[in-house]
Amino acid sequence: MAEVKIKNISKRFSPNSPLAVNNLNLDIADGEFLVLLGPSGCGKTTTLRCVAGLETQTAGDIYIGDRLVNGLPVGERDIAFVFQFYALYPHLSAYDNIAFPLRAQKLQKDEVDKRVQQVAKQLRIENILNRRPSSLPSGEQQRIALGRAIIRRPQVFLMDEPLTNLDAALRTDMRVELKLLQENLATTMVYVTHDQIEAMSMADRIAVMDQGVLQQVNTPLEIYNHPSTLFVAGFIGTPPMNLIDCHLNGSNTLSDEKGDFKLSGSLIEKLKSKIQDPEKPLIVGVRSEDVFIDTADGPSEVRGEIVARESLGDETIYAVEIGEYIIRVKTDPTLVLNTGTNVGLNFARDRIHIFDAKSKEAIKL
Amino acid sequence: MTLNTQETHGSNQTKVIYYVKEFFYWSVLIVVFAFSIFPLYWMFNTSLKPRADVEKTPPTFIPFVDYQPTLDNYVDVFFKDRAGAGFAEVDQDADRTISEFPKALANSIFITITTTVLAVLMGTLAAYAFSRFRVKGQGDLLFFILSTRMLPPVVVLIPIFLMFNQPGELINNVLQNIPISFIQAFGESIRDFSLRNSYTGIILLYITFGLPFVVWMMKGFFDEIPKEYEEAAMMDGYSRLEAIWKIVLPEAFPAMLATSVFVVITAWNEFIFVLLLNRDNATTVPPFLYSILGYGQVEWGRTAATSVLFLIPIIVFTFVARNHLLRGVTFGAVRR
């Protein structure tokens, strides 16, 4: 077991291509479950492959434990990697696949057998050890791939979207199992995914990346509640956070271009104290569960028309058109409104996020 | 089988259409089959005929019915006792001495096997490198490799002849220290290290012909094998070579066999270069066949028998390799 330190690493695949990873710093604690989250092409897999040694970073240092591993061959880093496509050796049985890393260490036959059986028991795949991977469903293949990773008792697990190829139900089960497994083994885990649900449900901490740049590293709830950049705000959460281009207009209200959306109150005073330029373009972000529908004809600050309804069973999401914006509102399923209804919207003031439209960073209030 | 399932449903009209389709399908298949099998059949047929029946008109087709088959032609292949046959005039006083055929066949087998093994091995490794590493000027290099196959062989015949005729002093000097017995095992004389009349020369030449093909075929194949296999193995503590040996080669084996079929066939059938460059001890079956045809009256029965014998090793090879040739390749363990 070991911590992983990533210091200022950058990666460029060829001299003229853009940076795949841009000056990334990340400290992963011993025994931590860290998820690298981001859309495809954001550099998360490249980062993971640099840690593994499958790619060489253009600049920067990587430490595993106390060891600087720059330039160290893959086999000597004492890590295990689970690939998105499992990469199980098709010509070997499940047993031999799992035993494969131990055979590299030239362990005694009974020792190998003992450990394979132990791992198989842990992953509940004792009965399929003689089968070839191709004859097994993807869930079992996944377990074999996990078995091959954990049998060596490496210092760090690296996982590259291991659940992507499973069907939805199985994925939910495996999330729990994977988390339990990691807790039992107490081994540092770096896990790459583009699926925010996987990230939120398993991670001790999430590192969100976009276009090679690390956006925010924090616990799942902290990231959800206090996104530090516009990208994080828009990427995390389903439905995504409502974002509205606004400015202060010099007055005491924060409103959009046409004035269909406006906010006033103590929030504005706080905001004014934080920004120098009153004309600064801002973006207001509010999550769908922090918007409330007011069906009364009362004088709500913001009014709009319901244009769509998504009934999900446990909740209903209304799309409300306000000027040129569509605001999504998450409500209790007991509230049933027809499209075309004109409604007022209230916002949970303490849960409104404000971003600088230029720097794309959050303005803390 | 398909007939039965089709019969259970569908109107009469669809049935009729189905049978018509089926009829044409099988007719075409049978015509194509007959067209390709007839020369082989004719060769085998001729090889069994007594001399008198070979050139009979109208021709006879069915052994035991049209004519009484004989194995004389096959016996004749191995001896040179008839005037104008084989290399007979070289050694006319001997009555029934062994012909050059066994030696030529052994040479054919030896040269083909060595060529194939070396070409497939080297080509596979080159293809692996092209597939897995960022090689500078990769496109140009691959094109260059392929371009060696773009000229008709006849064009390079004379340059190669001249090249092979060089006394080969450099090689002579290099090989001075190698034990003579080793060199003799390859049928060479220490005096003349020109590449003519040597196994080395003709094998080198055939490897040159075979390599571009192997590199291109295997590169295409390696591109299909996910690199995660080797990455996983390397992560588990194996070196790249070990990963290739333990993971990639077992995966690539069917493809290597498929590729080697082509190399085998090229080397086995090659005629003009070996005719020009090698004679006597280092020659192969195709020039030998030609030598039977070459003088006076053509002995068709004997020629056909030689051809049949020449064909057998290839048939055996294809038969042995056929399961591998048909076997699915990556087994779908990696999901894309």
Closest-approach residue (CA) in chain B for A74: B235
A231 & A247 share domain: no
Lowest average pLDDT, out of A120-124, A248-252, B170-174, B239-243, goes to B170-174
| Number of structural domains chain A divides into | 2
Contacts of B128 (CB under 8 A, 6+ apart): B218, B222, B244, B248
Read off the pLDDT band of A302 (50, 70, 90).
confident
Among A218, A235, A252, the domain boundary falls at: A235
Beta A188-193 vs A156-160: how paired, if at all? parallel
Answer for the pair A178, A202: CB distance below 8 angstroms, yes or no. Answer: yes
Determine whether the interchain pair A75/B330 forms a contact, defined as Cβ–Cβ distance below 8 Å: no
Sign for the CA dihedral angle at B122, B124, B126, B128 comes to negative
Angle CA(A275)–CA(A276)–CA(A278) in degrees, nearest 5? 85
Name which of B84, B76, B83, B82 is nearest B101 in CA terms.
B76
Among A203, A235, A267, the domain boundary falls at: A235
Closest-approach residue (CA) in chain A for B227: A87
A227 & A255 share domain: no
A203 & A259 share domain: no
d(CA B68, CA B242): 60
Lowest average pLDDT, out of A30-34, A278-282, B311-315, goes to A278-282
Closest-approach residue (CA) in chain A for B247: A89
Closest-approach residue (CA) in chain B for A144: B333
Q: DSSP 3-state assignment of B85?
A: coil
Determine whether the interchain pair B228/A87 forms a contact, defined as Cβ–Cβ distance below 8 Å: yes
d(CA B227, CA B248): 9
Answer for the pair A85, A99: CB distance below 8 angstroms, yes or no. Answer: no
Per-residue confidence (pLDDT) for residue B328, from 0 to 100: 38
A122 & A257 share domain: no
A20 & A134 share domain: yes
Closest-approach residue (CA) in chain A for B329: A90
CATH number at residue B199: 1.10.3720.10
Per-residue confidence (pLDDT) for residue A225, from 0 to 100: 94
A169 & A258 share domain: no
Determine whether the interchain pair A133/B331 forms a contact, defined as Cβ–Cβ distance below 8 Å: yes
Per-residue confidence (pLDDT) for residue B112, from 0 to 100: 95
Q: How many residues does chain A have?
A: 365
d(CA A258, CA A260): 6
**Looking at the domain assignment, is residue B19 inside a domain?**
yes
Determine whether the interchain pair A133/B231 forms a contact, defined as Cβ–Cβ distance below 8 Å: no
B335 pLDDT above the threshold of 70: no
B1 & B115 share domain: no
B121 & B267 share domain: yes
Residues of A in contact with B228 (CB under 8 A): 83, 85, 87
Per-residue confidence (pLDDT) for residue B113, from 0 to 100: 95
Contacts of B283 (CB under 8 A, 6+ apart): B100, B104, B107, B274, B275
Among A215, A235, A255, the domain boundary falls at: A235
Residues of B in contact with A150 (CB under 8 A): none
Determine whether the interchain pair A87/B331 forms a contact, defined as Cβ–Cβ distance below 8 Å: no
A35 & A181 share domain: yes
Determine whether the interchain pair B234/A73 forms a contact, defined as Cβ–Cβ distance below 8 Å: yes
Q: Who has greater pLDDT, B324 or B252?
A: B252
d(CA A354, CA A337): 30
B42 & B115 share domain: no
Determine whether the interchain pair B233/A85 forms a contact, defined as Cβ–Cβ distance below 8 Å: no
**Looking at the domain assignment, is residue B72 inside a domain?**
no
User: Terminal CA-to-CA distance of chain A, rounded, Å?
Assistant: 40
* Domain around A353: 242-363
Among B32, B47, B62, the domain boundary falls at: B47
B134 & B10 share domain: no
E strand or H helix that includes residue B247: none
**Looking at the domain assignment, is residue B79 inside a domain?**
no
**Looking at the domain assignment, is residue B153 inside a domain?**
yes
B41 & B114 share domain: no
Answer for the pair A158, A79: CB distance below 8 angstroms, yes or no. Answer: yes
CATH number at residue A132: 3.40.50.300
ipTM over 0.90: no
B214 & B118 share domain: yes
Edge-to-edge strand list for the sheet holding A188-193: A79-82, A156-160, A188-193, A33-37, A205-210, A213-218
CATH number at residue A359: 2.40.50.140
d(CA A337, CA A327): 15
Amino acid identity of B59?
P
Determine whether the interchain pair A91/B234 forms a contact, defined as Cβ–Cβ distance below 8 Å: no
Read off the pLDDT band of A279 (50, 70, 90).
confident
Encoded tokens for B129? 């490198």
Q: In a 10 Å sphere around its CB, with 0-12 CB exposed, 13-18 middle and 19+ buried, how is residue A172 labelled?
A: middle
Average pLDDT value for residue range B265-290? 88
Per-residue confidence (pLDDT) for residue B267, from 0 to 100: 93
Name which of B316, B307, B311, B313 is nearest B48 in CA terms.
B307
B43 & B105 share domain: no
A226 & A82 share domain: yes
C-beta atoms surrounding B256 within 10 Å: 20
Report chain B residues touching chain A, CB-CB < 8 A. 226, 228-229, 231-239, 242, 247, 250-251, 330-336
Read off the pLDDT band of B26 (50, 70, 90).
very high
**Looking at the domain assignment, is residue B253 inside a domain?**
yes
**Looking at the domain assignment, is residue B334 inside a domain?**
no
* Domain around B15: 1-47
A231 & A249 share domain: no
A143 & A213 share domain: yes
B163 pLDDT above the threshold of 90: no
Give the gap in angstroms from C-alpha B138 to the nearest C-alpha of chain A.
15
Read off the pLDDT band of B85 (50, 70, 90).
very low
Which of the given ranges, A56-70, B6-20, B154-168, has the highest pLDDT on average?
Answer: A56-70
Residues of B in contact with A152 (CB under 8 A): 236-237
User: pLDDT of B211-243, one tens digit each?
Assistant: 999 999 899 888 888 888 999 999 888 888 999
d(CA B212, CA A18): 36
- Answer yes or no: pTM beyond 0.80: no
**Looking at the domain assignment, is residue B308 inside a domain?**
yes
A251 & A229 share domain: no
Report the b/e string of B160-182 with b at 16+ CB within 10 A.
beeebeeebeeeeeeeeeeeeee
B117 & B230 share domain: yes
d(CA A303, CA A347): 12
Determine whether the interchain pair B333/A90 forms a contact, defined as Cβ–Cβ distance below 8 Å: yes
Report chain A residues touching chain B, CB-CB < 8 A. 52, 54, 73-76, 79-81, 83, 85-91, 100-101, 104-105, 132-134, 138, 141, 148, 152, 165
B19 & B140 share domain: no
**Looking at the domain assignment, is residue B64 inside a domain?**
no
d(CA A336, CA A309): 9
A256 & A347 share domain: yes
A159 pLDDT above the threshold of 60: yes
B30 & B136 share domain: no
Q: What is the mean pLDDT of chain B?
A: 81
B336 pLDDT above the threshold of 60: no
Answer for the pair A265, A253: CB distance below 8 angstroms, yes or no. Answer: no
| Number of structural domains chain B divides into | 2
Q: Which of B231, B235, B241 to mutate to test the interface with A (most CBs of A within 10 A)?
A: B235
Determine whether the interchain pair B235/A91 forms a contact, defined as Cβ–Cβ distance below 8 Å: no
User: pLDDT of A88-142, one tens digit each?
Assistant: 998 899 999 999 999 988 889 999 999 999 999 988 899 999 999 988 998 899 9
Determine whether the interchain pair B235/A52 forms a contact, defined as Cβ–Cβ distance below 8 Å: yes
